[in-house]
Structure 1
Amino acid sequence: MKFQGTEHYILSDELALAVNAAVKLEKPLLLKGEPGTGKTRLAEELALSLGTELIRWQIKSTSKAQQGLYEYDAVSRLRDGQLGSERVADIGNYIKPGKLWTAFTAPSRPVLLIDEIDKADIEFPNDLLHELDRMSFDVYETGQRIEASQRPVVIITSNNEKELPDAFLRRCFFHYIRFPDADTLTQIVRAHFPSLQQQLLTTALEVFFELRQLSQLKKKPSTSELLDWLKLLLAEDIGAEVLQDRQHQGGLMPLYGALLKNEQDVELVEKLAFLAKRQQR
């Protein structure tokens, strides 16, 4: 398998090497990078290019590793027993397969996405070591062993909210997605908006990179937010000349809510625009 990106997902040479190396080594691919740099989208596009199923396990702060294997609904079994249901005789009726179970037993090799693993408790990654290593686990209530007939392609994403254990990191192939430069970002935008006027694209990228260069900015806008902003500019028929007017809405770019996500950053951009206006007088 050689993944080189898709029509709508521009892949850097480094990331292409990482994906293919992880597949070759049959190790999970651990992706880190700023939110909005396409970590989740990579798994979606990889599954699409392989023509296979994407199984997504969205991790939350309350997620437990056991939920990825299976869950045993003892409460329902107790209730059915009190009601005299015949279902009680088969404990398998109360076993709910998790995402790893689904991936292990898929008819064709799927892509398993464990998304934002750093949101869970620190023990969560360690609790998955055995299963991800051996691609098997036991269902203790039934004595059943679930084994993967073929290893799924496993992609794990992290936004660096927590450090991951060394034992877990040793079992992964790691890649940090660097924020794209202007040329790569131009390719990404062109993949999504092929008919975008060059002047609007050039001006929009200038505004975007100026924002990202502000060291005091609390949250830098991401690639996905740039795409959302351009989509809105096109929908509202806002041209390059409007973006070039630094006085628009007191110095804020039109539809700034797609790029600036808190009031401190909005106030910062307004203040800098005001100071720039005074210096021009």
Structure 2
Amino acid sequence: MTALLSAEGLCKSYTRRSLIRAQAPREVLSGVSIAVAPGESLAVLGRSGSGKSTLMRLLMGLEKPSAGRVSFRGQDLQHLDAAGTRNFRASVQMVFQDSIGAVNPRFRLGDIVAEPLRHLTALDKRARTARVAELLASVGLCPEDARKHPSQVSGGQLQRVCIARALATDPALLVLDEAVSNLDILLQGQIIDLIRSLRTQRGMALVFITHDLRLVRLLCERVAVMDAGRILETGPVDRRLQLQSRAGRALQDAILPALPKAKGMHAGAGLEDVNVG
């Protein structure tokens, strides 16, 4: 089966320049290869500075690799024509960590959700309005919320708006970049449950970028552990989730707060059942 999204031998270096001279390039990613199958949920796990956000930007086509390639359904992103790029943008959507920074505060919520519909679909204004109402309802908001501005809703509601926007084009893959890290425990549980439900309904693939090992078991079937710009190990997310790499073990041994509970967990699952340490 052809991977939905894949990376082969990705390297990324940044050159820091000063007024006097350019400094030696700093390598952030080195030889990273990874693939996401259709419908699969993959966690990219690593501490801050491990390179996972840089990997995300390359996978999304927001930056070009220094070496290696990213492919969508077997086609190199750098070789896509205009139609191919448009299809990629519609098929791979993202939810960022900072919902406030990810929206225009002057826009109403309905305009925020409709943004990808305006640019990536042929829907007319009436059809876009109906689609926005449908999307808001799908994330537990009211169609009337479309008239509100970001400052008039809570952080959890605004993150739901960002999820609705990401779902507008019926993507095949949803990328979540620390998408619940800024929320409190209760809201984390609500958003995780929402994403699980939407993924089941739509059959989307999922890439969940996180430093929080607790959340991996709730959302993902497979995990890749990153450190120092490399993928150290990959494996299935089973009941105990015993990681073998030094970086993976460090994340397991970290002291963590109480785990947000998501609906749909197996009967009898308490905190001890999802303690991955």
Q: Quick check: TM above 0.5? A: no
TM (normalized to structure 1)? 0.37
Considering fraction of residues, name the structure with more helix: 1
TM (normalized to structure 2)? 0.38
Considering fraction of residues, name the structure with more strand: 2
